[in-house]
Amino acid sequence: MQVFFLLNNMEPATDLSPGHFWMITANSTAAFVMAYLIVFYISFFTNIFTCGMFGFDISFDYNQIVYHIEPYQWTHDSVKLIYSAGPLLVFFTGLISLIGFFGLTEEQSRLKILFVWITLLAFNQTFGNLMIGNLFKQGVGHVFNWMYFTDTQKMIVALVGFFGLLTTAFIMASPVAVSANSYFNKLGERNFPFFISSQIILPFIFGYLLIVGYFSQRMLFQEKFSWISLIVLIVIIFINLNNADTKYFDEDDRKPGYSKFLIIGAIIMFVGLRIILSRSYTINW
């Protein structure tokens, strides 16, 4: 790959040095882990709190909710609200995160990549659930099953999810490119392979492996299949940026470094949440 050619042949003093490459990778991987857990638990705890609206007693741990109710207690309204409130709130979280990113567009802050990952993962969960969850009758797919959608209607919903993912990929191409200004004065043919590998591709791989480790004792639907639609997003973003013109930023000097906030925050969330939620909690609404 071209990126490894660059890593082996660039002088240590350049901004394409191996040290700089792994520093960007570490920052972005930490941001991916934080973003994934934020998006997951926003949906997770929204599900828990909406159960209270119907007086459903529940137990939960780090990734599973057990409903202490009889099957006949489920109603159309409860299914629609409980299984759709989380994805809707996650979608709005993605929008807020995108607004937060544009507020930092001109800054060199490493926080931009956290907003990028939150937006990507939030939209991926929303539209990916419409597409994959609908087909497998998981997550928000329960809602359509209870609404007795025909196969044609379910296919239309799946297509909405698919085109939502495509739209997300085209919208997020620019923010991904702009996030390069945390480390570079411009993004062009020379440093694009280096940047996309260290900022997006490897953090996705390493970050997802960490998430799989986090949920390894009980892999649920989201963790098993969400990577499929996320890869589609990343591939489309890569193609868009690979064919784009050179993007110029300001001429200020960049100071490469590890983001303590992202790395320490990711460690605290990853370890802390897993320990705190390792036991089962019961809520009697």
Q: What are the tens digits of pLDDT across the range 28-42? A: 999 999 999 999 999
Question: What is the pLDDT, as a whole number, of residue 87?
Answer: 86
Give the model's pLDDT for residue 218.
77
User: Under a CB-based contact definition with an 8 Å cutoff, are residues 217 and 61 in contact?
Assistant: no
Note the pLDDT of residue 96: 96
Mean pLDDT of 272-280: 94
**What are the extents of the domains in the chain?**
2-10+17-283
Q: What confidence tier does 148 reach under pLDDT thresholds 50, 70, 90?
A: low
Is pLDDT at 86 greater than 90 in this prediction? no
Helices 151-178 and 221-242, packing angle to 10 deg? 50
DSSP class of residue 260 equals: H
Q: Say whether pLDDT at 198 is over 70.
A: yes
pLDDT at 8: 43
Please report which confidence band the pLDDT of residue 216 belongs to, taking 50, 70 and 90 as the band edges: confident
pLDDT, residue 12, reads 37
Percent of the chain's residues with pLDDT above 70 = 88
Average pLDDT of span 94-106: 92
Beta bridge partners of 66: 59
Question: Could you read off the pLDDT of 223-234 as tens digits, one per residue?
Answer: 777 888 899 899
Confidence at residue 250, expressed as pLDDT on a 0 to 100 scale = 79
Between 174 and 71, the more confident residue is 174
- Mean pLDDT over each residue of the chain, to the nearest integer: 85
User: What pLDDT does residue 134 have?
Assistant: 65
Q: Helices in the chain by DSSP H: which ranges?
A: 2-9, 18-53, 76-103, 111-128, 134-136, 141-146, 151-178, 192-196, 202-214, 221-242, 260-276
Q: Place 17 in a pLDDT band, splitting at 50, 70 and 90.
A: confident
Residue 1 has pLDDT above 50, yes or no: no
Mean local confidence (pLDDT), 10-30: 79
Q: Per-residue pLDDT for 187 more than 60?
A: yes
pLDDT band at 140; cut points 50, 70, 90 = low
Average pLDDT, integer, range 156-181:
89
* Residue 45 neighbours by CB under 8 Å, 6+ apart: none
Three-class SS state of 142: helix
What does the pLDDT average to over 120-128? 91
Give pLDDT, residue 7: 45
Task: Show Cβ contacts of residue 66 under 8 Å, excluding neighbours closer than 6 positions.
Answer: 58, 59, 60, 280
